[in-house]
Chain A
Amino acid sequence: ETGVTQTPRHLVMGMTNKKSLKCEQHLGHNAMYWYKQSAKKPLELMFVYNFKEQTENNSVPSRFSPECPNSSHLFLHLHTLQPEDSALYLCASSQEAGGAYNEQFFGPGTRLTVL
């Protein structure tokens, strides 16, 4: 148990659906991250939030829309996804963004399948 929880753990959705992934951290951290883990590909950073402000967006398509209402919660809103978006979506948090010693703590992930 890393102190980072994600819901749901599994999600199946059609291409026309709208769904949201939720991440919550209980560590008092100020930075939160979304990663995508696809089969046979390296883990890819999607978004970074530091003190509720988005500081990085790594060329993520607009069908993925993040939201960070406070430092403890992070959402990823999904709409009009494609089958190739099927992957494990991992959330992480750290004390704050910046610094070499800033360990990121990961949640268990949401396994997303797009039909």
Chain B
Amino acid sequence: GDSVTQMEGPVTLSEEAFLTINCTYTATGYPSLFWYVQYPGEGLQLLLKATKADDKGSNKGFEATYRKETTSFHLEKGSVQVSDSAVYFCALKWQGGSEKLVFGKGTKLTVNP
């Protein structure tokens, strides 16, 4: 079945370091891809999305590119801040039909000053 695999955490970085969180998926066809972020004590918030191959989603300095050939949607940020400390979830969803978002297990990021 469809699945999303994220790099295992936790990830600990110093402020202004470069961030990459890997995400790959297995699915038939071409789903929409998402990154969600969950700050401590809060629900999930959509961070960025891409709906077709080669699309790049971006928001708050974060970017991810939909790579069909490698079935990947890696999250990157050039310079992280302490306020980026959170859990990041990669997810996929089929266009139309079921509303099921298939999530990865999440990657906890801690940024130290």
B contact residues around A45 at 8 Å (CB)? 99-101
Within 8 A of A (CB), among B37-60: 41-46, 49, 51
Interface residues of B (CB under 8 A from A): 4, 32, 36, 41-46, 49, 51, 89, 91, 93-106
A-B contact pairs, 19 of them (CB 8 A): A43-B44, A43-B91, A43-B106, A48-B99, A56-B99, A90-B43, A94-B99, A98-B97, A98-B99, A100-B32, A100-B93, A100-B94, A100-B95, A104-B46, A104-B101, A105-B46, A106-B36, A108-B42, A108-B43
Known A2-B43, A50-B99; further 20 A-B contacts with Cβ < 8 A: A2-B45, A4-B43, A6-B43, A33-B99, A42-B102, A42-B103, A42-B104, A43-B89, A43-B101, A45-B99, A45-B101, A55-B99, A56-B98, A56-B100, A90-B43, A98-B96, A98-B97, A98-B99, A100-B51, A105-B46
